[in-house]
Amino acid sequence: MSVSPAIGRPRGEWGFDEGDEIADGLTALRLLGGGTRYEAYLAFDARLHHVVVVKVLRPDRREDKAALRGLRGEAEILGSVNHPAIARLLREDLAGERPLIVLEHVEGPRLSTLIRRFGPLELEQAASLALEVASALHYLHDSGIVHLDVKPKNIIMGAPPRLIDLSVARSVAAARTIEQPIGTDAYMAPEQCRPVPNRIGPAADVWGLGITMHEALTGRPAFPPGADEEGAPLEARYPQLVQQPASLPLSVPSELRDPVVAALTLDPQDRPTAREVAESIEPLLRRPRRLVLNLLKPR
């Protein structure tokens, strides 16, 4: 790893400590994480007098037009949507020394963290989560937007849960022109792994919901890890192209099992819509609480 001798930290990382100024009025509290292009910090926003999340381009990506375009695209999409289960954009500064967007901070762990620490979700919690995420996806799709990276790491288990990270999201029209794999390998729909014109659309997000809920219900990924060697065949890199997902536990009621299984259908035209997934699960949660608990009780 290359390290800058002047600042004593790896190149490509800001390395903000608690109390450091990220930008005017934004003070770092702690690093939350990040990817190849961005870092995310929990921060205090003096203008709002509130804790927020700041997503900032890495220092070695400030001249990267694609990275800046992605951040701008995320800001534009978030600025155009308003849903209780989607984390909100609060403001942006894309022309400053450190291009960034300021997002709503949601209290709660990521779904991926909960699964890693505690295993499968309780069935009632899983059903409620599936309904919230399906609702958010229906709203996005109705607004002409696809997320393209639905996965446990991109769900914050707040009240309600929030879908985050729209960095690869785009319009439905733009998604249909994608020619290269896009998303996170283990959670990509088959058509994202092997894209062809007019194939990628809202159904890819339904797959993301299905594979996320499969992991939430079993405590493990739906497919074995794919090969990461350069030049590996697509079928080795993406097991979802050729394998069936692992079976769900028999304790999962049909109202939850059936839409998850249907969401993981290989052909996107055969998957339900996000609205249909929500409508399948809603009756389960509308029943009297005692009956719901009996239905969700392990058998």
The per-residue pLDDT for range 120-146, each reduced to its tens digit, is 999 999 999 999 999 999 999 999 999
Least confident of 62-71, 75-84, 139-148: 62-71
The half-sphere exposure of 26 on its side-chain side, counting CA atoms within 13 A, is 25
In this model, does residue 288 exceed pLDDT 90?
A: no
For 83, left (φ over 0), alpha (ψ -120 to 50), or beta? beta
Q: Give the contacts of 80 (CB within 8 A, at least 6 positions apart).
A: 143
In this model, does residue 9 exceed pLDDT 90?
A: no
CATH number given to 111-296 = 1.10.510.10
% residues pLDDT > 70 (the chain): 92
The boundaries of every CATH 1.10.510.10 domain in the chain are 111-296
Rounded to the nearest integer, the mean pLDDT of the chain is 90
CATH 3.40.50.300 assigned to domain 3-104? The reply is no
For the purposes of burial, counting CB atoms within 10 Å of the CB of 198, is it exposed (0-12), middle (13-18) or buried (19 or more)? exposed
Q: Output the pLDDT for position 291.
A: 47
| Averaged pLDDT, 233-242 | 93
In this model, does residue 228 exceed pLDDT 90?
A: no
Bridge pairing between strands 38-45 and 50-57: antiparallel
In this model, does residue 10 exceed pLDDT 70?
A: no
| CA–CA gap between residue 205 and residue 172 (Å, rounded) | 11
Q: Residue 39: helix, strand or coil by DSSP?
A: strand
In this model, does residue 6 exceed pLDDT 60?
A: no
| Averaged pLDDT, 36-51 | 94
Least confident of 116-125, 138-147, 225-234: 225-234
Q: How large is the angle between the packed helices 123-142 and 289-296, nearest 10 degrees?
A: 100
The DSSP symbol for 160 reads S
Residue type, 150: V
Q: Output the pLDDT for position 159.
A: 87
The boundaries of every CATH 3.30.200.20 domain in the chain are 3-104
SS (H, E, C) 190-237: HHHHCCCCCCCCHHHHHHHHHHHHHHHHHCCCCCCCCCCCCCCCHHHH
Q: How confident is the model at residue 104 (pLDDT cuts 50, 70, 90)?
A: very high
Q: Output the pLDDT for position 284.
A: 83
Q: How confident is the model at residue 8 (pLDDT cuts 50, 70, 90)?
A: very low
Q: Give the contacts of 192 (CB within 8 A, at least 6 positions apart).
A: 148, 178, 181, 182, 183, 200, 204
